[in-house]
A and B are shown apart, each in its own frame.
Chain A
Amino acid sequence: MNMMSEAAVEKALDKKMNDMTYKMIGNDVSVYYGEKRALFDVNLNVRENTVTALIGPSGCGKSTFLRTLNRMNDTIEGCRVTGKITLDGDDIYDKEIDVVELRARVGMVFQKPNPFPKSIYENIAYGPRIHGLARNKADLDQIVEASLQRAGLWTEVKDRLHEGGTGLSGGQQQRLCIARAVAVSPEVILMDEPCSALDPIATAKVEELIHELRANYTIVIVTHSMQQAARVSQRTAMFHLGQLVEENDTDKMFTNPDDQRTQDYIMGRFG
């Protein structure tokens, strides 16, 4: 891909983003852990083909919000969600919605790389297998290769697909987990501090990957690094004490935020 067309693609994506197509809409979302309220009436919309960064000090509820988007909070004992979240207009907390199907459409990458103790191939093939995405072995091989290509891992691991996934380096493991999420062809990918356990070089690779994935997926990323948010995202949402403080274009957010608290946090005055 040459520079021109890359710029053109970028422009097209930005245009699409500015058309205000909302992939997911969060309406008055509140989360309780038992008696404790972790999130207060958050209204946050996620735009299609956009990287949305969630920032804020520890314990501000950004990870909690992220996990409501594919109902990973369901697995936590005593967690309750109120409000409404839609994916392409469908309420994901509706009784009719199958949580398994939802998670196939809204994939997730975790803070710590968590490859299964299986081979690289099996790690990628796991999702397509359980969702029946491949008709035969050739199909599956093709999905595995394409996913690894997407995650920029193919050239590094193509000769050792059948070796253990846990034997890779931390950064490779995290890209393996991204490839694993990509393999089930989700529409949205949630990333919970995907680089916090990685060194700067691996971080740069994952960030580059996130940037490329934007073309095909809607991405929501939680991060503690302001620079990372500035580098990878187009939209940024700032959380504080369980409330959404501000949501804005990343450029504006980091140069001229509307809210004083955002200003303070970005300048490093708290958090």
Chain B
Amino acid sequence: MSTPLILLVLAIFAIVCYVVGTRRALAIAGGLSFRLHSRQGYYGAFVAICAIVPAAAVLVVWLVASPLYINSTIHDGFPAEVKAQSEAQQGLSFGMVNSLARGMDVLTLEEIDAVGANPAELRSALGAKGVPLAGDPEPWMVASAGDLNAMQKISNRVMTAIVLMVALAGAGLSYVRIAPRFRARNRVEKVILSALVLASSIAIVTTIGIVMSMLTEAGHFFGRVPAWEFFFGTVWDPRFAAAGAGAASDGQFGLIPLLAGTLYIGFVAMLVAVPVGLFSAIYMSEYASPRVRSIAKPLLEVLAGIPTIVYGFFALTSVGPFLRDISAQLHGLATGEYVNFIQAQSVLTAGFVMGIMLIPYVSSLSDDIITAVPRALRDGSLGLGATKSETIKKVVMPAALPGVVGALLMTASRAIGETMIVVLAAGVAARMQLNPFEPMTTVTVKIVSQLTGDLEFTSPQTLVAFALGITLFAITLCLNIYALFIVRKYREQYE
């Protein structure tokens, strides 16, 4: 049986088990469900779980293990002269055997007989059936392919038999355990709990996996370039060395200019986003009538849904040229000479547009936090004769401050990790300078530019991207943890 078919059979079997288990429980209780420890459905669910969970586990293990075993057996059966070849060659041969095996499945027995042991004819016969082969198969390959198919067939039969037996055994064993005092609910709930735990651990395990893979690659990089040169180097010049050039042409990988650009642009973005976002949050939570709020808040949050690449276009085609032209006009008015002192791609352009992107984050997060300040505090202040603005300034905002700071830190980590806007609007020159009208570049821009190319994944030019990535990850992780810490501490105050 094919795997999907087995799964289908298992599913149907589970439903049958559920119905049978439920009926059995009711029958034992003489039709009076209150005599049972658990509701009758739990007994059915218990039988169904016992039937399919072990069977499915066996299925999964078999599906993983059997190809490994078969492949290694086939590989062992290769002729000695093939085994003597290089690994890549052997891989090719193995690929041939595999596709031959797949092809021979398609052919009928008569066709195989007709072709006989003539490899060339076999190739054309398979080609006619839509199975291309890389070359003429050698006779030993045909034999190997036959072995492969036979083993797979056996494996499949044994698997089907075992899985179905396990399912039947599970169902049978659990069926006889049904009794009025049997605690089926507790068992079923335990299974559900472990399913929930499994689901939530997937995200965590994935994160750990990502970090581990980045760490490994970054480790390779630090094997080539000393860590202190990376973390404290002030020159970013990863020369894309021509093939055959010596180690001296590896270039310099100083993180500092990139980090400076990242922080500078992030700082400008926060300068735009924090006041605007906070003021809008205060308006939304304290002054806006419910009607205005119900319209304006979703609108503001739509801004958060715009893909950042669109902001990038906006920066590239509108804001950048606009700032450049206006600076030329201003310079012209002041000196009579029309020279633009703001570059189209600049810290200011990228920071400004990123700031606009961040406004909804700041305002939405802060709005939630300000709204969470208990009404009793507002009443207390108003009841003392404080005005609305005094109440907001002296009671509501101080109470909300830790949460707002947490929200701002989260926003800052977003600004640091932001990529598309800076790729389009900040420029690519890694420079250390303080003029916001000049282009600078960021860590994320450099990750993009180091990885988009044809370089192999062994040169430091490419590997540096992982070192940059893990650095960025560490920074944003620290910011987020700190932010969560602050927000949590703040929440405790009102509980």
Are B384 and A180 within 8 A (Cβ)?
yes
A250 at the interface (CB under 8 A from B): no
State whether A130 and B382 are in contact (beta carbons under 8 Å apart), knowing that A114-B374, A117-B398 are contacts in the complex: no
Q: How far is the CA of A73 from the CA of B240 in the complex (A)?
A: 72
Q: Of A104, A112, A177, which one neighbours B385 at CB under 8 angstroms?
A: A104
A61 at the interface (CB under 8 A from B): no
B390 at the interface (CB under 8 A from A): yes
Chain B residues with CB under 8 Å of A109's CB are 383
State whether A110 and B383 are in contact (beta carbons under 8 Å apart), knowing that A75-B378, A77-B290, A117-B399 are contacts in the complex: yes
A257 at the interface (CB under 8 A from B): no
Q: Of B289, B376, B378, B394, which one neighbours A130 at CB under 8 angstroms?
A: B394
Chain A residues with CB under 8 Å of B379's CB are 72, 75, 108, 110, 114
Question: Which A residues between 91 and 135 are near B, CB-CB below 8 angstroms?
Answer: 100-105, 107-110, 112, 114-118, 126-127, 130-131
Are A103 and B385 within 8 A (Cβ)?
yes
User: Top 6 nearest A-B pairs by Cβ distance?
Assistant: A104-B385, A108-B383, A103-B385, A114-B376, A114-B380, A127-B384
Per-residue CB contact flags for chain B residues 5-27 toward chain A (1 = under 8 Å, else 0) read: 00000000000000000000000
Q: How far is the CA of A116 from the CA of B381 in the complex (A)?
A: 8
Are A126 and B385 within 8 A (Cβ)?
no
Other contacts beyond A107-B385, A184-B385: 7, CB < 8 A? A104-B385, A114-B376, A115-B380, A117-B377, A126-B384, A130-B384, A130-B385
State whether A118 and B398 are in contact (beta carbons under 8 Å apart), knowing that A104-B385, A181-B383 are contacts in the complex: yes
Are B382 and A72 within 8 A (Cβ)?
yes
A166 at the interface (CB under 8 A from B): yes
Shortest distance from the beta carbon of A171 to any chain B beta carbon, whole Å: 17
Question: Which B residues between 369 and 420 are near A, CB-CB below 8 angstroms?
Answer: 374, 376-387, 390, 394-395, 398-399
A64 at the interface (CB under 8 A from B): no
State whether A117 and B376 are in contact (beta carbons under 8 Å apart), knowing that A75-B382, A107-B384, A184-B384 are contacts in the complex: no
A-B interface contact total, Cβ < 8 Å: 73
Chain B residues with CB under 8 Å of A184's CB are 384-385
Question: Which B residues between 348 and 384 are near A, CB-CB below 8 angstroms?
Answer: 374, 376-384
State whether A116 and B385 are in contact (beta carbons under 8 Å apart), knowing that A72-B379, A130-B390 are contacts in the complex: no
Select the residue from A101, A127, A166 with max chain B CB neighbours within 10 A. A127
Chain B residues with CB under 8 Å of A105's CB are 385
Q: How far is the CA of A114 from the CA of B387 in the complex (A)?
A: 18
A236 at the interface (CB under 8 A from B): no
Select the residue from B374, B380, B382, B493 with max chain A CB neighbours within 10 A. B380
Chain B residues with CB under 8 Å of A177's CB are 380
Question: Which A residues between 22 and 50 are near B, CB-CB below 8 angstroms?
Answer: none
Q: A-side interface residues toward B, CB under 8 Å?
A: 70, 72, 75, 77, 100-105, 107-110, 112, 114-118, 126-127, 130-131, 166, 177, 180-181, 184
Q: How far is the CA of A184 from the CA of B45 in the complex (A)?
A: 67
| 5 chain-A/chain-B pairs, Cβ below 8 angstroms | A110-B379, A112-B376, A126-B394, A127-B385, A166-B493
Q: Residue on B with the closest CB to A180?
A: B384
Question: Which B residues between 230 and 280 are near A, CB-CB below 8 angstroms?
Answer: none
Q: Of A72, A101, A130, which one neighbours B383 at CB under 8 angstroms?
A: A72
Q: How far is the CA of A104 from the CA of B395 in the complex (A)?
A: 17
Q: Of B289, B290, B386, which one neighbours A100 at CB under 8 angstroms?
A: B386
Q: Residue on B with the closest CB to A102?
A: B385
Shortest distance from the beta carbon of A174 to any chain B beta carbon, whole Å: 12
Q: Residue on B with the closest CB to A74?
A: B382
Q: Residue on B with the closest CB to A128?
A: B384
Select the residue from A112, A117, A127, A180 with max chain B CB neighbours within 10 A. A117
Shortest distance from the beta carbon of A108 to any chain B beta carbon, whole Å: 4
Shortest distance from the beta carbon of A186 to any chain B beta carbon, whole Å: 8
Chain B residues with CB under 8 Å of A166's CB are 493
Q: Residue on A with the closest CB to B396?
A: A116
Q: How far is the CA of A104 from the CA of B384 in the complex (A)?
A: 6
Shortest distance from the beta carbon of A105 to any chain B beta carbon, whole Å: 8
Shortest distance from the beta carbon of B254 to any chain A beta carbon, whole Å: 46
Chain A residues with CB under 8 Å of B390's CB are 130
Q: How far is the CA of A227 from the CA of B383 in the complex (A)?
A: 27
Shortest distance from the beta carbon of A179 to any chain B beta carbon, whole Å: 11
Are B384 and A101 within 8 A (Cβ)?
no
Shortest distance from the beta carbon of A195 to any chain B beta carbon, whole Å: 16
